[in-house]
Amino acid sequence: MKFKFEDVFITGSNGWLGRSIVQSLIENDPDVLELEKLKHMNVNCLVNIDESLDFFKKYGDRTNVCKGDLRKSETIANFLYESNSGLLIHTVGVIHPKKINQFYEINHIATSKLVDKAIEKNVSKIIIISSNSPLGCNPNNKHTFNENSKYNPYMHYGKSKELMERYLLKKIDEGIDITIIRSPWFYGENMPERQNIFYKMVVSGRFPIIGSGLNVRSLANVKNICQGIFLASAKKISKGKIYWIADAENLNMLSIVETVKKVFRKEFKMRPKKNHIKIPFFFGEIFEFIDFFLQKCGIYSQKIHVLSELNKNIACDISLAKKELDYNPKVELYEGTLKAYKKYLKLKQ
């Protein structure tokens, strides 16, 4: 696949997905795609002002790192430059903020300013990472979201992403080459500590199953998301489109937990507890009410928010991406969990 961009601008390049994008571009990861790249490509990486740059040291001068705060116009101006052969991949998004207003400051307002500046600088292709949250939850475990599903945002995160998408759709109507990628529950390499906490809870038998555990979830390995991003960047048909990008198979919560346990039992010789915490379904509704009330008061609790979603169906249909982009997710949950935890252990040594 030809990758025709001389200048690539990646926001959130020190994050979970951002690092995988940088690695895939520079190292030609076979789990993603074989890219036929230009010999001279500028990989421009925006990182938060207080973040370590250790990840980028191994690439030397193959990346151009810009530090700053995306909410500030001067950061955006310093990051983007004139490029009619440029690709902007915007991965920044606040999921678990300190304050509710950060959802809107970053997910909506900062994204709008970034896209406006990219248009001003003649960046030729813009890819924005969204999520399932603007669509909310599926009504049952047989239903899946597609690109025509109506907005029904879940809490403030979902509302901020809906506002972002509606702004992008206006720019698309003006003829700007923008593609929106919706990706659900992330997992995979370069994982943050919160993912390790999830694994610890599963292995110790302390991960809660709320309700029957048959509620269905879509997961997205970060390498599969990278594949979707690069395909969308290379194919003209992606202009002005929204695509769901996730793993090949949707799984229920019990299957997800059991697969993770299997990885740690077989590959890492641990002894995961056979049991898990079983909580009646209505407790999920109680957590949802508490989450709604707290957010209405301007308070965000990560634990309460996560618990409120554990009994929900959040699943998507990737048929359009497969048809129009030739998207073919190569990594599934078992392999993705294995590689992610191996890399996590290596980095901890």
For 171-218, how does the pLDDT look when each residue is reduced to its tens digit (9 = 90+)? 999 999 999 999 999 999 999 999 999 999 999 999 999 999 999 999
- Kindly tell me if the per-residue pLDDT of 39 is higher than 80: no
What pLDDT, in 10s, does the model give residues 49-72? 999 999 999 999 999 999 999 999
Please state, as a whole number, how many other Cβ atoms lie within 10 Å of the Cβ of residue 2: 9
**Running DSSP on this structure, what letter comes out for residue 151?**
P
Query: What superfamily would CATH give domain 2-190+218-250+314-330?
Result: NAD(P)-binding Rossmann-like Domain (3.40.50.720)
- pLDDT-derived band of residue 27, with 50, 70 and 90 as boundaries? confident
> Residue 179 corresponds to which tokens in the numbers above?
């593609």
pLDDT (average), residues 238-242: 98
In sequence order, what E strands does 206-298 have? 208-210, 216-217, 219-221, 242-244, 251-252, 277-279
pTM of the model: 0.95
Confidence (pLDDT) at 2: 80
125-141 CB burial, b ≥16 within 10 A, e <16: bbbbbbbbbbbbbbeeb
Rounded Cα distance, 189 and 343, in Å:
7
Confidence (pLDDT) at 113: 98
Please state, as a whole number, how many other Cβ atoms lie within 10 Å of the Cβ of residue 274: 8
What pLDDT, in 10s, does the model give residues 297-337? 999 998 999 999 999 999 999 999 999 999 999 999 999 99
Tokens 């990594």 sit at which residue? 331
Confidence (pLDDT) at 34: 74
Delimit the domains of the chain by residue range.
2-190+218-250+314-330
pLDDT (average), residues 267-271: 95
Whether residue 183 contacts residue 229, with contact meaning beta carbons closer than 8 Å, is answered with no
Torsion angle of the four alpha carbons 206, 210, 215, 220, in this order, in degrees rounded to the nearest 10: -40
List CB contacts of 297: < 8 A, sequence separation 6 or more. Answer: none
Rounded Cα distance, 137 and 134, in Å:
9
